[in-house]
Amino acid sequence: GTGGCFGCRRKPPEPEPNVSHLPTPYNVIKERFGHVLSSDTLIKACHFPGLGSPRLKQLIPGAPNFRKTSSTKQVFGSAMPTHKAVHEILKLIETTAGKNQQVHFF
């Protein structure tokens, strides 16, 4: 009959929220104003699902695309590591290159 469930305790599905009153993404970008984000500007999250390259093995959690160059020099790279990952990178460099090495972050 009615699609109901006699004796069931399942809740009916929630109705979809009405979002017709919300501005479109285009209008948000065009009409924003501020010191950091102004009209026609976007902000990109540093970490998002799928950030890491599928070709690189995740060596340090929070340090996407962390890698060592193939040169004989101790040169490493990473995409925007988290605070915790920076400490892990420094520990790895210390064990790999030695304690008294200079480290430069760019």
Question: 77-90, pLDDT tens digit by residue?
Answer: 888 888 899 999 88
Q: How many CA atoms lie within 13 A of 15 on its CB side?
A: 3
Range of 12-21, 61-70, 93-102 with top mean pLDDT: 61-70
Q: Can you tell me the distance from the alpha carbon of 26 to that of 75, in angstroms, rounded to the nearest whole number?
A: 42
Q: What is the pTM assigned to this prediction? A: 0.48
Could you give the angle at the alpha carbon of 75 between the alpha carbons of 60 and 58, nearest 5°? 20
Between the alpha carbon of residue 23 and those of residues 19, 26, 36, 45, 81, the distances in Å are 9, 8, 20, 21, 34
Cα distance between residue 80 and residue 83, in whole Å: 9
Q: What CA–CA distance (Å, rounded) separates 62 from 44?
A: 17
The two most distant CA atoms of the chain are separated, in Å, by: 78
pLDDT digits (tens, 9 = 90+) for 7-55: 666 677 777 777 777 778 777 777 777 777 777 776 666 666 666 677 7
If pLDDT is split at 50, 70 and 90, which confidence band does 6 have? Answer: low
| 51 or 99, greater pLDDT | 99
Q: Which two tokens stand for residue 65?
A: 């695309």
How sure is the predictor about 70, in pLDDT bands with cuts at 50, 70 and 90?
confident
5 pLDDT more than 60: no
